């Protein structure tokens, strides 16, 4: 049989892959194959190279297992903090004290340097309380326009002025509060940090969404009865 053209490495690899008995018939050849170790320039046998590859694979699997354990522990810690946050809300003694307890617990559990909240459209009994202070139409429009929490650098947003030390806030998160996903906002939760990367534009907002949903559900009891 005449072979047309040069034999390529792919041809050889394909032949060996489809001829499992080759090395059984050529056992001496298998034992004589020498490869270069990735851990130096020394020559190693095929069996040694296979063992090295197996050890590297085991190391990779172990690193992946440890990463999964770390992620599991981190997720468990977040779940514990969220549980304590929700519990603090449920234990609020009075409706008027709820916003204060909510902000205090949120800061404590998630190590947030500064936080504040403003609500509007509430029952008359809350008039005059700090969290019910008038915010102006622009802030209400801003909250209403946010379908997701906003994260980014503090570019002089009006709600930043609600924080205790607004001049030190470099990054900010704005979380709209609403009873329905497509309903009007009745409040805004503001988180601030002196770290410009704490609330970055490209960070995920799913957790902040969950915080907003919990806060909205709890604070809805301050709204007038429908």
Q: What does the pLDDT profile of the chain (226 residues) look like in tens digits?
A: 344 567 888 888 788 778 877 767 766 766 666 666 666 666 656 667 677 778 888 888 888 888 787 777 777 888 888 899 999 898 888 899 999 999 999 999 999 999 999 999 999 999 999 999 999 999 999 999 999 999 999 988 899 999 999 999 999 999 999 999 889 999 999 999 999 999 998 888 888 999 999 999 999 999 998 6
- Alpha-carbon dihedral angle through residues 187, 193, 196, 197, given to the nearest 10 degrees: -80
Query: 89 phi and psi, to 5 degrees?
Result: -65, -45
Q: What whole-number distance in Å separates Cα of residue 140 and Cα of residue 135?
A: 7
Q: Which candidate, 217, 215, 221, places its Cα nearest to that of 104?
A: 215
* pLDDT of the residue at 223: 93
What are the structural domain ranges in the chain? 92-222
CATH code for 92-222? 3.30.450.40
Q: What whole-number distance in Å separates Cα of residue 56 and Cα of residue 203?
A: 34
Q: DSSP readout, 41-61? A: S-EEEHHHHHHHHHHHHHHHH
Q: In the structure encoding, which two tokens stand for residue 207, read together? A: 């957790």
* pLDDT of the residue at 1: 39
* pLDDT of the residue at 181: 85
* pLDDT of the residue at 25: 78
* pLDDT of the residue at 119: 97
Q: What whole-number distance in Å separates Cα of residue 140 and Cα of residue 149?
A: 14
Eight-state DSSP code of residue 208 = H
Between 46-90 and 206-219, two packed helices, what is the crossing angle to 10 degrees?
A: 20
């Amino acid at each position: 049989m005449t072979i047309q053209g040069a034999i390529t490495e792919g041809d050889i690899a394909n032949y060996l892959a489809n001829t499992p008995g080759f090395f059984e018939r050529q056992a001496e050849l298998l034992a004589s194959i020498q490869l270069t170790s990735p851990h130096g320039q020394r020559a190693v046998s095929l069996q040694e190279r296979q063992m090295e590859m197996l050890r590297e694979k085991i190391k990779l699997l172990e690193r992946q297992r440890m990463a999964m354990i770390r992620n599991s522990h981190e997720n468990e810690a977040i779940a514990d903090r969220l549980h304590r946050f929700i519990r603090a809300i449920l234990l609020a003694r009075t409706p008027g004290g709820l916003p204060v307890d909510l902000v205090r617990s949120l800061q404590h559990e998630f190590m947030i340097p500064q936080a504040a909240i403003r609500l509007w459209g509430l029952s008359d009994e809350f008039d005059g309380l700090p969290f019910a202070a008038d915010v102006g139409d622009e802030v209400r429009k801003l909250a209403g326009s946010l379908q997701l929490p906003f994260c980014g650098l503090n570019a002089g947003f009006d709600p930043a002025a609600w924080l205790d030390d607004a001049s030190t806030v470099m990054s900010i998160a704005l979380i709209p509060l609403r009873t329905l996903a497509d309903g009007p906002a009745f409040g805004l939760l503001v988180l601030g940090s002196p770290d410009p990367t704490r609330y970055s534009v490209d960070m995920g907002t799913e957790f902040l969404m969950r915080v907003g949903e919990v806060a909205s559900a709890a604070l809805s009891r301050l709204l007038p009865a429908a």
